Amino acid sequence: MPFLLPPNLRITWFGHSTFVVETPNGKRILIDPWVTNNPACPPHKKDVGPVDLMLVTHGHFDHIEDAVPIARATGCQVIGIFETAAWLMNKGVDEKNVAPMNKGGTLHLPDLNLSVTMVHADHSCGIKDGDQILYGGEAVGYVVTLDGGGFTFYHAGDTAVFSDMALIADLYRPQLAFLPIGDRFVMSPREAARAASFLSTSVEAVVPMHFGTFPLLTGTPEAFGDELAKAGVTVELLTMTPGQTLGT
């Protein structure tokens, strides 16, 4: 049976690792804000619109470059690991809107009718600030659980495969996962298939991301699909194109 999102939940891909998830109660979650100089983002999507919550997985430019202007323009709540959150506040994001946290913690956001859990990612996290690279804490992923129906999704951020992805599935039971597949800087399709295997005790569908934006990101959804089949992983592959929206 094809995977279906809950009614009135919509997911839009802005290219690379940037998504907006619109919840059934009308809240908009922006993940890894990079649109202005993102070559994969369609011109008509450069303005992400209103944002209620921003999740930053790590400090590399292709995940954080538009975080400060969007946060300041929208007044949204911003979640990031402690060091990255401190940098955002230092750059002018209102501290009352910034919620630092760390891996293993969960924030309950009753005004948004959801909870956010910060989980491990296996990647680096330097923030390019002028001619310096600053320590940005560690890279992370997020598990978001909607109140009520309990729909849960997992955005892995930039990461290598690690066996404790099975623990993420066991503890938080996400039904949908966003996984990087580009290779060189993140998982290859082969490694992403193993990640999907670890997650498959709860995850029903995967959305590939972080591929094709630059020539060095050589992984493709087709190769990912082949590796899933080779590994016997039966999760559904939801391949999106930049600018596309899933859901009704």
Residues 242 and 20: their CA atoms lie apart, in Å, by 12
Cα 115 from Cα 201, distance rounded (Å): 21
Q: Is 206 left (phi over 0), alpha (psi -120 to 50) or beta?
A: beta
Largest CA distance in the chain: 52
**44-91, pLDDT tens digit by residue?**
999 999 999 999 999 999 999 999 999 999 999 999 999 999 999 999
pTM, whole model, 2 decimals? Answer: 0.98
Q: Quickly state the pLDDT bin for 38 (edges 50, 70, 90).
A: very high
Instruction: Answer whether 58's CB lies under 8 Å from 127's CB.
Output: no
Q: Determine contact, residues 208/221, Cβ cutoff 8 Å.
A: yes
Amino acid letter, 166: A
Residue 191 identity (one-letter amino acid): E
Measured in whole angstroms, how far is the alpha carbon of residue 129 from the centre of its chain? 22
By DSSP bridging, strand 176-180 and strand 205-209 are: parallel
- For residue 234, give the 3-state DSSP assignment: coil
Enter the tokens of residue 203. 């995850």
* Dihedral pair phi/psi, residue 197, rounded to 5°: -65, -45
8 Å CB contact between 240 and 247: no
In CATH, 10-246 is 3.20.20.120: no
pLDDT tens digits, 16-30 = 999 999 999 999 999
Mean pLDDT of 222-235: 98
Instruction: Tell me the pLDDT tens digit for each residue of 131-178.
Output: 999 999 999 999 999 998 789 999 999 999 999 999 999 999 999 999
The torsion angles phi and psi of 69, rounded to 5 degrees, stand at: -65, -35
Residue where the block lists tokens 């990461």: 159
Q: H/E element holding 150?
A: none
Domains of the chain, residue spans? 10-246
pLDDT of residue 1: 66
